[in-house]
Amino acid sequence: MQGAAMSTIEELKVFTGNAHPQLARDVCDYLGIPLGESETFKFANDNTFVRIGENIRERDVFIVQPTVAPTNDNLMELLIMIDACKRASAGRITAVVSYYGYGRTDKKDQPRVPITARLVADLITTAGADRMLTLDLHAGQIQGFFNIPVDELTAEPLLSNYFAEKGLEDLVLVAVDFGISKRARDMAGRLGVPVAVIEKRRTANDDRSETLNVIGDVRGKRALTFDDEILTGGTIVNAANALLEAGVTEVFCCATHPVFAPAAPRLLKESAFKEVVVTDSVPLSPDQKVNNLTVLSIAPLIGEAMKRIHEGRSVGELFQ
């Protein structure tokens, strides 16, 4: 369906692999349609098999599959599902990648290293996707790696509305590094609060960083740290400790993607954070949902974007 979108929501089909089926079901609940019938599994030789279980000829197909851990398995599932839909004569195929794995390798920052974020973009395009829908990419230039349309949604309104409703006084938004500072300014603008920045240095390729100092007036204020994702938790926990040393009264945290390493939930639970707020862009197991963690649903945001894409309406209007 390269031309006009079909007019009825029933012509929109949503499928999912094994990466995050609950998100796909929640999106379908929002849209009021059933989840598409498909099966995805591995043979004994570790090869992935996909079968679409219903007619999708000339249909508008959306495949919900964040490329979260196990990243390579979930990426391969996505590619094979796209190919299966293409060979089943789908009208248009949109890859709904709520978390874009390999997004951190977006440039050559060392000699003789790959730009894997670009390679993944090429793979998704070559597999047959007509467009991609994603959420808070680690680096904005990743959109330019694709030769198909990319709609990048943001969880900033969802997160900012949550904290606005809490009515926290004397709040300052804290970017955990300079790389996220522009998004932090946007987030602070939504909340009507000032911005501070944590200066840090990453010392190796092992996900560890050294927090240096706090830039901005934070003494006597409540601090809300902001980042796009949480992996080990070390960066934001170090940031929380630095903020407390700088004189803040309480520390909160928000991030879009809870890409938790095994030790991250325990580290967050034992941290100084009064509350850690994330989205369900990636799946969380029950033991990862610690008592100071709040998870906000992105299903209405993803579902509304799908509906607008299907109907040929603006996605950007969601954030105006």
Q: Are 57 and 84 in contact (CB under 8 A)?
A: no
254, 292 Cβ separation under 8 angstroms = no
Catalytic residue among 42, 107, 108, 200: 200
CA distance 132 to 139: 16
CA atoms of 253 and 271, how far apart (whole Å): 11
What residues contact residue 173 under an 8 Å CB cut-off, 6+ apart?
184, 187, 188, 191, 193, 194, 195, 196, 224, 226
Please check whether residue 254 is in contact with residue 225, taking contact to mean a CB–CB distance below 8 angstroms. Answer: yes
In the block, which residue shows the tokens 């606005």?
A: 164
Q: Using alpha carbons, select from 4, 166, 131 the residue that is nearest to residue 61.
A: 131
Task: State the angle between helix axes of 71-87 and 116-127 in degrees (0 to 180), rounded to the nearest 10.
Answer: 20
| Structure-token pair, residue 233 | 């938790």
DSSP string, 185-247: HHHHHHHT--EEEEEEEE-SSSS-EEEEEEES--TTSEEEEEEEEESSSHHHHHHHHHHHHTT
Task: Give 70-110 as a 3 state SS string.
Answer: CHHHHHHHHHHHHHHHHHCCECEEEEEECCCCCCCCCCCCC
Q: How far apart are CA 6 and CA 58, in angstroms?
A: 9
Active site residue 200: yes
**Which residues are catalytic, by number?**
200
